[in-house]
Amino acid sequence: MSVFTDKEIEYLAGQRLGRIATTGPDGQPHVVPTSFRYNAEHDAIDVGGLRMSQTKKLRDVQRTGRASIVIDDVLPPWQPRMIEVRGSASVIPSGGKAPAWCPAPAVQHPTACCACWPATAKRWPSRTATELAALA
């Protein structure tokens, strides 16, 4: 069973950009926008991108085994929504896959990606799935 509700999985599928947070060797936080996809097989958030194997986020995940990612948006007039995932993370050295919405010529498939498995998933607004569905 997933830590995400069906409505949250639908929400994740409709978003294109998240923000991944890692911690550098000096203890400083590092937050960058990133593409992502929900990996139903592993109930994880996969993070990828161009030249992923050369990025600080990948090195940080390799070193710490931890990451957080926030996926958010705002509906008019002012209805912010978000899912924050905190948990263990690991580097998958090959087989990265572009999100379904990304046209193949626009992005090279990454040679590596990070996967974040939720230890916690926070939602905002803190509402039931039925109430969240009404916002969509």
> pLDDT tens digits, the chain, 136 residues: what are they?
888 889 889 999 999 899 999 999 999 999 999 988 888 888 888 887 777 778 898 899 989 989 999 999 988 888 888 898 888 888 877 655 555 544 443 333 344 566 666 665 666 665 444 554 554 5
Report pLDDT for 118: 65
**What is the dihedral angle through the alpha carbons of 21, 69, 35, 9, rounded to the nearest 10 degrees?**
180
Give the tokens for residue 39. 């990996």
Query: Alpha-carbon distance 70 to 81, whole Å?
Result: 10
Report pLDDT for 27: 96
What DSSP line would sit under 39-90, residue for residue?
ETTTTEEEEE-TTGGG-HHHHHHHHHSEEEEEEEEEETTTEEEEEEEEEEEE
In sequence order, the 6+-apart residues with CB closer than 8 A to the CB of 106 are none
Amino acid type, 121: A
**What is the dihedral angle through the alpha carbons of 125, 126, 128, 134, rounded to the nearest 10 degrees?**
-10
Place of tokens 């974040």: 116
Report pLDDT for 117: 62
Beta-strand relationship, 44-48 and 18-23: unpaired
**CA angle 24–48–64, rounded 5-degree value:** 30
Three-class SS of residue 38? Answer: strand
Please, what are the domains in the chain? 6-135 (2.30.110.10)
Report pLDDT for 18: 93
Q: What's the pTM value of the predicted model, to 2 decimals?
A: 0.75
